[in-house]
Amino acid sequence: MSVKQLFDLTGQVALVTGGSRGLGLQMAEALGEMGAKLAITARKADELAEAKKHLEGLGYEVLTVVNDLQKTEDIPGLVDQVVERFGTIDILVNNAGATWGAKAEDYPDAAWHKVMDLNVSAPFFLSREVGKRCMIPRGKGSIIVTASVAALKGTPPGMNTIAYNTSKAAALHFARTLASEWGHYGIRVNAICPGFFPSKMASGLIEKLGPAMIERTPLRRIGGEEDLKGAVVFLASNASRHITGESIVVDGGASLI
């Protein structure tokens, strides 16, 4: 098999959560370019419609599903819609996430639960559903979790994102543990740890920290609109068929310092 064939995703079905904008849309673009049929889900119908128009304009086949992953009782229905349209799910990108900034001593209960529900519980419940219904019966599949460099260490002064950091560390260990349990089914589970990208979630911190953040990054830049594409295609495809339970850090080297 050639290297180009190893990266080819023609005919495979990819479900990307939080796929209407930001990192999720970037990863959907990459998977579609390599031939995957796309199912993207998010809470806001207008943003999904805009993303669908964009992706179809690039020539990709796209299904959109309005869904709030914090409502775990709706997860089977989400999978129903994707399977009804495409027949199966080969690639699952657990990308949807949330954050909340507050000092630990003042952190609201509701905020803690929101971050944990979306960043930890939802990827498990969705992976369980997709695994049971699509991947385990077919003996193959790739699950990718969007973690974060925030999983690797504490936060700089003033960031105050204890729930986010904790949840992303849990997401890393979720990927490792599920990879251990499901490897014998032929299912691979890996994580991507982005650094700062100009997304809606990170925009406030980028604006606040700005030049100081770039100065502390060895490559002297923050993430761009194409910097996750290679990583997600690699982990989704046969190019990484002997890799599971691992994480790829995409942060310009910021976590090295």
Q: Give the pLDDT score at 207.
A: 60
Q: How far apart are CA 155 and CA 160, in angstroms?
A: 7
Q: What is the pLDDT of residues 89-103, one digit of tens each?
A: 999 999 999 999 999
In the predicted model, what is the mean pLDDT of residues 178-198?
Answer: 95
Tell me the pLDDT tens digit for each residue of 106-116. 999 999 999 99
State the average pLDDT over residues 165-193: 98
> Whole-angstrom Cα distance, residue 144 to residue 59?
24
Residue 106 confidence (pLDDT): 95
**Is residue 77's pLDDT more than 80?**
yes
Q: Which of 60, 107, 164, 185 is catalytic?
A: 164
Domains detected in the chain: 3-251 (3.40.50.720)
CA–CA separation, 134 vs 136, rounded Å? 6
Q: What is the pLDDT of residue 215?
A: 81
pLDDT digits (tens, 9 = 90+) for 225-249: 999 999 999 999 999 999 999 999 9
Least confident range of 90-94, 154-158, 215-219: 154-158
For the cut 60, the answer to whether the pLDDT of residue 206 exceeds it is no
Rounded distance between C-alpha atoms, residue 53 and residue 32, angstroms: 13
d(CA 246, CA 234): 12
Q: Determine contact, residues 64/51, Cβ cutoff 8 Å.
A: yes
* Triad 255, 198, 109: Cα angle to 5°: 75
Confidence of residue 79 (pLDDT cuts 50, 70, 90): very high
Query: Is residue 131's pLDDT more than 90?
Result: yes
Task: Reply yes or no on whether 185 is catalytic.
Answer: no
The answer to whether 156 touches 197, Cβ cutoff 8 Å, is no
Residue 167 DSSP class:
H
Count Cα atoms within 13 angstroms, Cβ side, for 249.
Answer: 11
Average pLDDT of the chain is 93
Give 146's pLDDT tier (boundaries 50, 70, 90).
very high
- pLDDT the model gives residue 257: 80
